[in-house]
Amino acid sequence: MSHTVRTRPDGSERALSEAYDTALLDLDGVVYFAGGDAIAHAADSLATARAGGMHLAYVTNNALRPPDAVAGHLTELGIPTEASDVITSAQAVARLISEQVPAGARILVIGGEGLRVALRERGLEPVDSADDEPVAVVQGYGGPDLTWSRFAEASYAIARGLPWFASNTDLTIPGARGIAPGNGAAVQVVRIATGAEPQVAGKPLPPMHRETILRTGAERPLVVGDRLDTDIEGAFNGEVDSLLVLTGVTDGAQLLAAPPQHRPTYVDADLRGMLTGQPEVVEAGEGFRCGGWTATAGAEHLELTGEGEALDGLRALCAAAWTSAGEGTCALDGGKALARLGL
């Protein structure tokens, strides 16, 4: 949390939407809720960022829906989006496969329409059976109705020596009724059956970041997400800055305990944080100060003094916790300090 956004000529802090040319936005927990409804302030914040010249790209590990379907959903929510603005793990894994198999090759698909569209875009032919002479297997989230026989089909093909690819390995996926098994859980089924390991493309791994940069042409990208282990780690692996928003799965305690690869450059309540500069966190004696708050690392607890905006207190706590932890995970109890901030 020590990054400072460059200033305008008048000395004031630049908004993130001015300091970066492209926002690489996660969807679930950032732009919309698991049930599909837009998160408060998302549409207006994105419209303002776009009007100011920032390119908006929507980056998702969910390989089920093709880009035009995702773009249509966002447009219905009041966020005008073209299919070319959407980058999926299906596209990333299709490129990865295309670099290793002949043009026009048959690929056994265990998943949904998003994978099929992405494979065809790369000149590959999706097939449904291990007996259709595929040269590789690709597995992606296929929705709740994906049958057990599909996992068996993948296992037959992999047992014959075919290379295996996975769009992503997220163990869970949020839904309107709660948390459900994700593609990573399905991958684990095939892994147990075959003893094989897939090549994985999705966040936080480099193929997904590469696909995003290739498709957007971003020169100064800012990753915006709600998950430490996919969005923020993906930014870390891609060596780009990141903004964590607190509208999704990450809470204050998880943030304070984050290891280096899960530590965002910035943190804010929601997407309105793209439209402002981030306050500086500075060393203050043995602790760190942000706004009206000062955080220090005690013997057993993180300690917080002062008053002001809750997010400034969280930013100060992050600096104290992460400095104390170094390259590890902070073991100090931050519960009391977080409770004081209402987080």
Q: Is 327 helix (H, G, I), strand (E, B) or coil?
A: coil
The residue type found at 64 is: L
Q: Of residues 26, 85, 268, 312, which has the active-site annotation?
A: 26
Q: Is 309 helix (H, G, I), strand (E, B) or coil?
A: coil
String of DSSP letters for 96-124:
HHHTTS-TT-EEEEES-HHHHHHHHHTT-
Q: How far apart are CA 327 and CA 259, in angstroms?
A: 7
Residue 28 is a catalytic residue? yes
Q: Of residues 28, 170, 226, 241, which has the active-site annotation?
A: 28
138, 115 in Cβ contact below 8 A?
Answer: yes
200, 190 in Cβ contact below 8 A?
Answer: no
Tokens encoding 248: 């999704």
Which residue is it, tokens 């089924």? 189
Residue 128 is a catalytic residue? no
151, 45 in Cβ contact below 8 A?
Answer: no
Handedness of CA 118, 123, 124, 125 (dihedral sign): positive
Q: How far apart are CA 282 and CA 298, in angstroms?
A: 18
Q: Which H helix or E strand runs over 283?
A: strand 282-284
Tokens encoding 72: 């249509």
Active site residues: 26, 28
